[in-house]
Each structure stands twice: as C-alpha cells, then as structure tokens.
Amino acid sequence: MKKRTGVFVCHCGINIAGTVDVKNVAEDLAKHPDVVHSEDYVYMCSDPGQKLIENSIKEHNLDSVVVACCSPNLHETTFRNCAKAAGINEFQCEIANIREQCSWVHKDKLKATEKAKKITRSTVEHVVKNKSLEPISIPVTRRGLVIGGGIAGIQAALDMANSGYEVVLVEKSPSIGGHMIQLSETFPTLDCSQCILTPKMVDVSKHPKIKLLTYSEVQEISGYVGNFKAKILKKPTYVDPDKCTLCDKCLDVCPIVVPNEFDLGLTARKAIYIPFPQAIPATYTLDIANCPGLLPIACGKCIDVCEPGAIDYDMKPEMIEEEIGSIVLATGYDLYDKENMKEYGSGKYADVLDGLQFERLLSASGPTMGEVLRPSDHKVPKEVVFIQCVGSRDPELHCAYCSKICCMYTAKHAMLYKHHVPDGQAYVFYIDIRSGGKNYEEFVQRAKEEDGVVYLRGKVSKIFEENGKITVWGVDTLAGKDIEINADMVVLATAMRPAKGAEEFAKKLKVSLDKDGFLSEAHPKLRPVESVTAGLFFAGAAQAPKDIPEAVAQASGAAAKAIIILSQDHLFHSPMVAKVSLNLCSGCGMCVDVCPYDALSLKNNKAEVNEVLCEGCGTCSATCLRAAIEVKNITPGQIHEMIDASVGG
Amino acid sequence: MVNLEEIKKEAKKILEEGKVKYIIGYAKSSNILMAAPVFIKKPEDVNKLIWNPTCFQNLVKFLLDEKRKKAREKEPDTRPVGIFVKGCDSRAINVLLQEKFITREDVYIMGISCEDLGVLDEKKIFKKLKDEKPEKIEFDQGKNIVISTKEKTIKIPLKEILAERCLECTSSFPVISDVFWGDRNNRSPKEPFKSLEQIESLSQEKKWDFWQQQLSKCIRCYACRSVCPMCYCDECVVDSINLAVTADTSAEEKAQKIKWIEKSPESSENFGYHLVRAMHLAGRCIDCSECERVCPVDIPLRLLNKKLEKVAKELFDYKAGLDPEQPSLVSSFKDEDPEDFIR
C-alpha cells in the first residue's frame, strides 16, 4: 500500500534558510510519489508550526511525516508527540537533519540545497517503510541507590529519602563523610567543615528510609532503568557495632601501627581503629590487610580484651543483592599524588604537604589539635610557600584541566595560616586567580589585603631541602625576576583526580569516562548530571573538579533526576529495538559479545533480544555476518533505500 | 615420520568400535597430483586411506554438509564424524567451534602434522613439467618428489613445489585433535607474509589497477565460496533468491530482501562480492588457500585474505583458530586495542 507522507521543511529563522533554499526543498519533495503534501515554515517547532503539522495530517489524511529541521536529538520528541496528537502513530514521524548536517556546515547555497533535498528524500524513503510501533512499558522498582558517601552522595541520598523513597547508600570506607569531613574550615565563610557536615551524616544514619552500607563495594549492576539489580559486597569489619561500647581497650593492646589515612599519614593508627571520632557508623573496624592474622595464635590480643565480646574473627564477607530503580554515582576524587611531582621532591620531604594534609594540620581535631607545626620538628613555620596548579593546567606533563577549587582553598590556607601564626609570612605562587563564585573574589582580596598574603605570579621550578629549610626556586613574572625563598613549609595545591579505582569501577558499570578519567555526562550543557545509560546519574567531583556548593547542588539535581524515575509506576522504552530472524541466525553469539547493553543472549542456539535493555544502537546488526538481526524501523532494507536516495540523482 | 599403517589401524579401530559415524579422509584419485576426499564407513575400507603431500584439500568443509544433513534427519546418528586434519584445517575446526556452528562432540579429530613439509601446489608442478602429463609420482624419503612422464623422469625437491601457504606456515601441526600423528614443532618462517610483499609495494593506483584486472576476470562461479569452510551462511549476500525460507519466514521478510550486489559478473559487482567475502573472513580465515586453488580463472584470492590476516596480527595480535575459546576478532574489544586508525 502506498503511503501518504507529509514533508515539513523548517527555516529555523535563517539557521537553515540562510544556506538552504527551503522553498525549493519543499517543492522538490512534493514531486516524490509517496509525498502527498509538502510545505515550509519559519519555525516548525513553534506552537503555530506544530499546529500546522497537526492540521495538515488531518486535512490531507497523512499516515507518515518527515520534518526537515534540526538534529533529532533536539526536536524528535516534539514532532513525534505532534504526530501522535494528530492521530497517527508517533513512529511514523522521522526527522531529516538539514541543520547540523547541512546548513551549518556548508556555505554554497546551491550545493547545500541539493544536499538538503537528498537528506530529506532519503528520510522519506526511510519513513515510507516504517512500521507503526508501540512503546514498551516496564514497571519500576521504586528504590534508589547512591554509590559514594561523601558530601555529594550524602546530599543525594537525603534528598531522595526525604522525598519518600527508600535509598541504599553504599560507601567503600568504614565511615561516610568523604573528603569533606577531613577539611578544617570551608571557603568563603570559614565555617567549620565537620560542624556543618556531621548533622547531615547523623541524618543519614537515623533516616528510616536510608539503608547505609559502609565498608561495602558495589560489585555488579545488572538490569536496566527502573529495574536494576546491584550486587554489593559488604566487607567484614570483624566488630559487631551493636555490641561494641567504644571502650577503646582494643586500641591499647593492638600491636600494629600503620599510617592513618584520615590524617593522610601525618599520624598513625592501629590495625583496629575508628576512622575519626564522629564516624558513622560509630564502630571499630579491624583492618585485615594490616592485622597479623585472625587466628588467635597469630595475635588475638583485641579479642582477649574485648569485654562485651564485640570482636568476631569469624565474620565473613557478605554479598548483598538490592533491587533498584535508579542510581546516583558519587565516587568522588583523590588528590594527584605528590610522588608524580619530581621537581617538587616527589613527596619525600616531610615539610612539603599537599592541600588535604594542610587541612588536617589546620583542623581542630587534627594531629596538632589545630596548631600549625612542621611535621619534621614540630616547630611553628615562620615562612610558608603555597604553590597553586601543582599538576593542574600542565598538559605536557600532568593534567591539562584546571582543578577549579585550588585558587580558593589556597587563599583560605594562607589566610588561616596567618590567623594561626600572625607573625608568619605566607607566599602564594599562582598562574592566575580564578575566583568566580559568590563572595569568592572578595575572599581572595581579603587574604591579600587584610591578612597580608604575598601573591607571586609565576611558577616554581624546584623545591629542595637545605639546612633544615625548604628552598623554593620560583619566578615572579610581574616583577620579572627569579625568586628564592627559604621556607619552613611548602603546601602544594595538587590537582584533583577521579577517585582511585574509579576507572575499573566505571568499566564494571559500563559508564564512559572522559579523557581525564572523570565520568562523562550525556550532554555537557543540557544533561550535566545524566549518564548515557538511562537511570544512572552523576554527582560531585567524580564528574569534574568542583567545590562543596557545586557538589551539593549537583547532588540535589541528580537526586531530582533519580526521583523522576522512582515517582513513576511504569516507564516507557523505545520500541526501536533489535529483532532476530531465527531462520538466518546461526547462533555464533557475536552479537551477544558486542552488545553494549547486555541485551542479547543465546537461547536454544539462537540470539534473543531483551527488548527492555536494547537501545537500538544497531551494533549487533552491523556485526552479524549472516544479516540475521536488524533494528525495527531502521532495517537494512530501509538503509538500502536511504543510500539509494542519497547517492542517486 | 607419520606412519600410514598406524593411521589405518586407528581408523579401523574406531570404525569397528562404532566410536564414529564415518571417517572423512584422503584417497587416491584419477589425478595423481591430487588426493580425493573419501568417506569411509566400513572398517575394511580403511586401506583406501593415503597420507602424502597431495592431500591438500581442507576436509572441514564437509562438516558443514554433515551438520545440515543431521538437522534434516528425524532421528540423527549423534556419533561424531572422524575427520583427518592438517595444522591449517584444524584451525578451521576451532573457528567453527568458536562460532558455535559445531560442537566438540560432533567431531573426532584425527590430526596429522605436516612436520617440516606441507602440501604441494599443482600449478607449481605444471610449471616445472612444462605441460607434460605426469603418469606416476613417488615421494622419495619425504624430501623429493619423483615424477615420471611419457618422456622423462624428474626429481624435484619438495620445498620447490610446496604451496605458498606452507612456506609461510607458523604452526604445521593440528592445534586441536583427539588422536595425533607426527611431531609438534613450531615453525618460524622468516617472512610469514612474504607473498604480500609485491602487492604491498605498489602504489594505491597500481593496486587498484591490479585488482580491477584480477576481479574483472571473475565469472561468479562461486567455487571459492563453495570450497570455503567458513562460508556456511544459509543465505549469502550475493544471492538473496536463495533466501532461507522456512515456515516462519514472513511475506514481509521476503519482500524486504535487498539485492545489495547484482548477479551479473560485472567488475563493480565482482568487487562487491569479493570484498564482502574478504571482510567476512577477517579474523576467521585460516589460510587453507582452497579458494585460490579452486578458482578457474586464477584470481589470487589468497592475497586478500592474507592481507587481512596480517592486519589482524599487527593491530590486534590476533590469529584465527588458535583456540576455540578465544573471543572472535570482530566481536571482541580490549582496552589496549589501537585506536589511531580511527579518524
């Protein structure tokens, strides 16, 4: 049966009409045997434009529609809904992209017009072979999963839980809090980081809708939007939190001393430990990697002194399976290792600290109880050099990107140092100061003017230890001279990197990463918290370097996106999915191997499509040597006709 | 040295025990330079079996027919088929296993090592004989071939008339087998892709001219496809008329069939056919060179497949058929795979 197709050519103001003779395209397409109506309009996506399409469908009794306009990424949904409103199947509407793929990339109007005709004609060939399809309906598991218990993960979990949905919050370390709990005070208001974070942490622990799994790692995510299954490994802490009274006796007897990661190695901890006093959950963890062994014969001192019998050497790793509707990924960051910085001593000088170490030195709960003292000799440093962009903005040797937060925290560090040591001198080496943000610029100016921090515009070439001092060789490019400072302490604002292990984790979840290893969002402007996988959202520094307010804002955004899914009974999935011709399938399984969505499997030696998982990408179709699998409404037959229309006359 | 009597003994034993349905092997044919495939069902027929450098066919192709035959039978004999394989042939079995076209239980693999030799190339012999008809051949201690014609008797060292693929062979013994004869010495030819040297040295235009000339000869007899153990699709891209129609083929599916390539042996259509075939063999071709051998118009088809083999080796360190468990070339991805050719 012949189709009755309508063609609607959009001017997009002069975006298309400036380079393409849109009237000519509409006239030319009218000659196509399947096209019964063809016209152009200045803004097809406008309300009158959509009305025009609707009316034409009814007036000319159209059964299919081609809209020649911008990318289908932008207005495909608009026009499909419009077709639906006019009473035809929405999958009988196709978009011919004559803007991004034609008018925007060409200058010659004649040639561009010819190309626009070919694009539109090939889309007509496509649509005339389209079948009417119905969206696939899928039920939703109305529970959320948040991976990562830093400030972003905490915020996302709280927002989702406060909206009435159950949330599973998974954190790999023994306590939630992330890096924010290590910080001293936060810019630009200088409020105490722990004081503002701990109430949120308590909220998490007390929230009836939040299931907190600390010391746990997500091993596998299977399923699809609305219906994920997460396998979570809960590592044994060997301490029963319900029995533990936090009497600290085990601490006294434990013979093993290792660097304390919470203080970034500035202090030591025992093999059995509580990460920090306000840890949530408040309990001990026996660090098995450092414990001499769980057999009483090896040590067993802690179990001997534990009066409430909270220590249990027989605790086993537990695999927890959770059913989930949507996921927020907030795996955070780590600092670029000082060891990568050869010119700055590769981390071998005790008095050359990174930003987080200095935070601990400033912190009232830190190793020096808030006094600024040199780690090497516990003397008050009288001259401190702060160096910005350590590893950042260095495309040749280190990271090409700007870590964004260092200008601000360095100003804060210098300022706080001056508050602790008023007679000391602080120097800051910088490339330039990036202080965009509410009250940020004022904050930096305050450091310079009120606290007398000396800002030197230039880079540091070398740092070395000499006579108990740290000699810093740098340059002041504004004064045009070399500078040598014999400092007592140096603080490096090292670059922000995606959290260690994030890369392997992303691979497990099949989330794509950008060139620097940060999570790569679906659209840099319009979908900044979404991944390309439906139902998976991003929050915090795992996506890009960001400060606390930004991480919190993004977390709330991601939570809102996750809630959009959880708030629905059913989700609808595009019916443009792969279909197997069983008589041609030889069961080789190559499609199963290449499917990026795990939508294919072999059943009775034939490929089988899980339509809900299939995103219709067509990789299977391209791989199949036997042409036994095709995507609905974009079949080889249609592609053949489209190629013919594109290359022929 | 491979002892033919031992081979016969084993063949006889497994037939008598009923371990296999039948055995696919080599026997003498009317052409003394070429062994013929033989299907042995009775133990007393094992004396027909031969093993010498004229056994150049790849018998694995017959497994495809066997699979189809079995699928048609109501109560098929599920015993395995015994099959003689050389090193290259055994890798074809591995690819079929990898692609799940056959299962390991379908075959009883009787592997014979080519040791330090290989199989002969008829065309090379004809060149040496200058069109005289060979009447009798003998293999002299596995080193030489003694050919008698009406006029004369000549002795040619085997190395001089071995098939090109044998000279470039890196594993001359079966990599998968149930019984095995001969040694398992790896070969390391200095130039495993020497046959490509000449064509690779040509300019883009000269290469085009070369293939234009070669492929325009093709008469589309599809002998290359018929002999290839990897060409087992029920429906081939070149003949959609041969559509595998079954009870569940819808009218729409039949109507949707596209003629990607015209049937007429025109140069452009021939290009389409041979390039699709070559691409479909990438990472699957095990270089048995049967396609080139059977080509009635002497198109050097092996060059196409060898080139793809070389690319797969260089870019992805991939060689077809080494292990039935290895992921296939086109459907697998490794993080360290090169990407610099993507532009």
Q: Which of A270, A241, A274, A272 is nearest to A257 (CA)?
A: A270
Say whether both A290 and A169 belong to one domain: no
**pLDDT given at position A55:** 96
Average pLDDT over residues A77-90: 96
On the CB side of A141, CA atoms within 13 Å amount to 21
Is the pLDDT at B68 greater than 80? The verdict is yes
Strand partners, A229: A222, A323
Whether residue A56 is contained in a domain is answered as yes
Mean confidence (pLDDT) of chain A: 94
Average pLDDT over residues A441-468: 95
Say whether both A341 and A487 belong to one domain: yes
Is B249 near chain A, with CB under 8 Å? yes
Rounded to an integer, what distance in angstroms lies between the CA atom of residue B176 and that of residue B118? 18
| Partner-chain contact B246 A583, CB within 8 Å | yes
Whether residue A645 is contained in a domain is answered as no
Say whether both A349 and A476 belong to one domain: yes
Say whether both A282 and A404 belong to one domain: no
SS (H, E, C) A158-199: HHHHHCCCEEEEECCCCCCCCCHHHCCEECCCCEEHHHHHHH
Say whether both A481 and A452 belong to one domain: yes
**pLDDT given at position B312:** 94
Q: How confident is the model over A68-78, as pLDDT tens digits?
A: 999 998 999 99
Q: How confident is the model over B8-63, as pLDDT tens digits?
A: 999 999 999 999 999 999 999 999 999 999 999 999 999 999 999 999 999 999 99
Is the pLDDT at A292 greater than 60? The verdict is yes
Rounded to an integer, what distance in angstroms lies between the CA atom of residue B239 and that of residue A455? 77
The full DSSP string for A117-158 is HHHHHHHHHHHHT-----PEEEE---EEEEE--SHHHHHHHH
Of B99, B244, B253, the CB nearest to A588: B99
Is the pLDDT at A453 greater than 50? The verdict is yes
**pLDDT given at position B207:** 96
**pLDDT given at position A226:** 93
Kindly state the tokens that stand for A581: 């011709």
- Pairing state between β A93-97 and A64-69: parallel
A65: CATH: 3.40.50
Is the pLDDT at B243 greater than 70? The verdict is no
Rounded to an integer, what distance in angstroms lies between the CA atom of residue A364 and that of residue A194? 10
| Partner-chain contact B249 A588, CB within 8 Å | no
Q: Decide if A414 contacts A518 (C-beta within 8 A).
A: no
Q: Which of B13, B20, B69 is nearest to B41 (CA)?
A: B20
Say whether both A278 and A360 belong to one domain: no
A206: CATH: 3.50.50.60
Say whether both A375 and A481 belong to one domain: yes
What residues does each domain of chain B span?
1-119+167-189, 122-161, 192-328
**pLDDT given at position A398:** 94
Tell me how far CA of residue A113 lies from CA of A16, A19, A99, A299, in angstroms. Answer: 10, 7, 11, 82
Rounded to an integer, what distance in angstroms lies between the CA atom of residue A597 and that of residue A588? 18
Q: How confident is the model at residue A598 (pLDDT cuts 50, 70, 90)?
A: confident
Say whether both A328 and A341 belong to one domain: no
Beta-carbon pairs below 8 A across chains A and B? 59
Whether residue A648 is contained in a domain is answered as no
Is B244 near chain A, with CB under 8 Å? yes
pTM over 0.90: no
Average pLDDT over residues A520-532: 92
Is B143 near chain A, with CB under 8 Å? no
Say whether both A277 and A183 belong to one domain: no
Q: How far is CA A326 from the centre of its chain?
A: 14
Q: List, in sequence order, every beta strand (DSSP E) within A403-522.
A: 425-430, 454-457, 460-466, 469-476, 481-487, 489-494, 496-498
Last residue of a domain, one of A134, A167, A188: A134
Q: How far is CA A623 from the centre of its chain?
A: 30
Distance from CA of B56 to the nearest CA of A (A): 28
Rounded to an integer, what distance in angstroms lies between the CA atom of residue A368 and that of residue B206? 78
Rounded to an integer, what distance in angstroms lies between the CA atom of residue A180 and that of residue A498? 15
- Which residue has better confidence, A223 or A182? A182
Say whether both A187 and A51 belong to one domain: no
Is the pLDDT at B247 greater than 70? The verdict is no
**pLDDT given at position B242:** 47
Q: Which of B256, B114, B264 is nearest to B174 (CA)?
A: B114
Which chain B residue has the Cα nearest residue A619?
B331
Q: Is the peptide bond before A596 cis (omega within 30 degrees of 0)?
A: no
A612: CATH: 3.30.70.20
Q: How confident is the model over B150-208, as pLDDT tens digits?
A: 888 889 998 889 999 999 998 889 999 999 999 988 888 888 999 999 999 999 999 99
Instruction: Give the residue from B331, B334, B336, B339 with the most A CB atoms within 10 Å of its CB, the best one to mutate.
Output: B331
Kindly state the tokens that stand for B342: 């993507």
Rounded to an integer, what distance in angstroms lies between the CA atom of residue B33 and that of residue B18? 33
Task: Identify the three-state secondary structure at position B45.
Answer: helix
Average pLDDT over residues A135-140: 93
Name every chain B residue with its beta carbon within 8 A of the beta carbon of A584.
233-235, 244
Q: Decide if A384 contacts A426 (C-beta within 8 A).
A: yes
For chain A, give me the number of helices (H) and strands (E)?
17, 34
Task: Identify the three-state secondary structure at position A235.
Answer: coil
Q: Decide if B304 contacts B274 (C-beta within 8 A).
A: yes
The DSSP H or E segment spanning B61 is: helix B61-72
Kindly state the tokens that stand for A85: 């409103």
Total domains in chain A come to: 5
Q: How far is CA B195 from the centre of its chain?
A: 17
Which chain B residue has the Cα nearest residue A587?
B100
Say whether both A339 and A407 belong to one domain: yes
| Partner-chain contact A593 B328, CB within 8 Å | yes
| Partner-chain contact B101 A586, CB within 8 Å | yes
Rounded to an integer, what distance in angstroms lies between the CA atom of residue B118 and that of residue B172? 8
**pLDDT given at position B139:** 86
In the block, which residue shows the tokens 């990271």?
A: A399
Name every chain A residue with its beta carbon within 8 A of the beta carbon of B331.
589-591, 593-594, 623
Say whether both A74 and A129 belong to one domain: yes
Is the pLDDT at A649 greater than 90? The verdict is no
Q: Decide if A135 contacts A535 (C-beta within 8 A).
A: no
Whether residue A459 is contained in a domain is answered as yes
Minimum mean pLDDT among A110-124, A371-385, B228-242, B281-295: which range? B228-242
**pLDDT given at position B82:** 97
In the block, which residue shows the tokens 């609905």?
A: A632
Residues 6+ apart with CB under 8 A from A396: none
| Partner-chain contact B235 A627, CB within 8 Å | yes
| Partner-chain contact B100 A593, CB within 8 Å | no
**Domain range for A527:** 143-235+318-332+501-566
| Chain A residues within 8 angstroms (CB to CB) of chain B | 581-584, 586-591, 593-594, 602, 605, 623, 625-627, 635-637, 640
